[in-house]
Amino acid sequence: MRKLSILLIGIMLMAAVGVNAQEYTKVTVKEMANNFISTLMGGDLEGTLKFFAPDYVTGQHDGFLEGRTEQFVAEFLAGSYKKGFYFITPELDRIKSMTVKKTRCDLAKGEIYADVKIVMDYGLKYTVRLDLLVTESGDLRFIGAAG
């Protein structure tokens, strides 16, 4: 469901990609992911919202989650571990570290993401894919599952 939602949103918004999209690279994606990580790990939970696509914040954060920012960010960072057998939605204050492991920025294929390794303070480690898209205004922003 999450991948389908992301794919559909990405396809719809790719049609609106402007000239600014040409300047995005794997380096840009890594910088954005690292800035998001710094903001989150620095304790600025509200500040993390600026990294997300405005329509996604309006629909998911403001609408579906009724402004619950901690839940919004935690669900965005949710992922699986132990070869997909277990699923975690992290408690944000228990995240020990986050490291960008891999990025991809293929605008033609609509594949823009950063794979981020998350280490919890109790030892659990997992990697989550943070999907991005180019918004109608030409900005690069994170997007997640809706609903």
Quote the number of domains for the chain.
1
Q: Identify whether 147 is part of a domain.
A: no
Strand partners, 95: 120
Q: Identify whether 121 is part of a domain.
A: yes
**61 lies in which domain range?**
2-142
pLDDT values of the chain reduced to their tens digit, one per residue, 147 residues: 454 444 444 544 444 444 444 589 999 999 999 999 999 999 999 999 999 999 999 999 999 999 999 999 999 999 988 877 789 999 999 999 999 999 999 999 999 999 999 999 999 999 999 999 999 999 999 999 887
pTM over 0.85, yes/no: no
What does residue 124 show for φ and ψ, rounded to 5 degrees? -65, 135
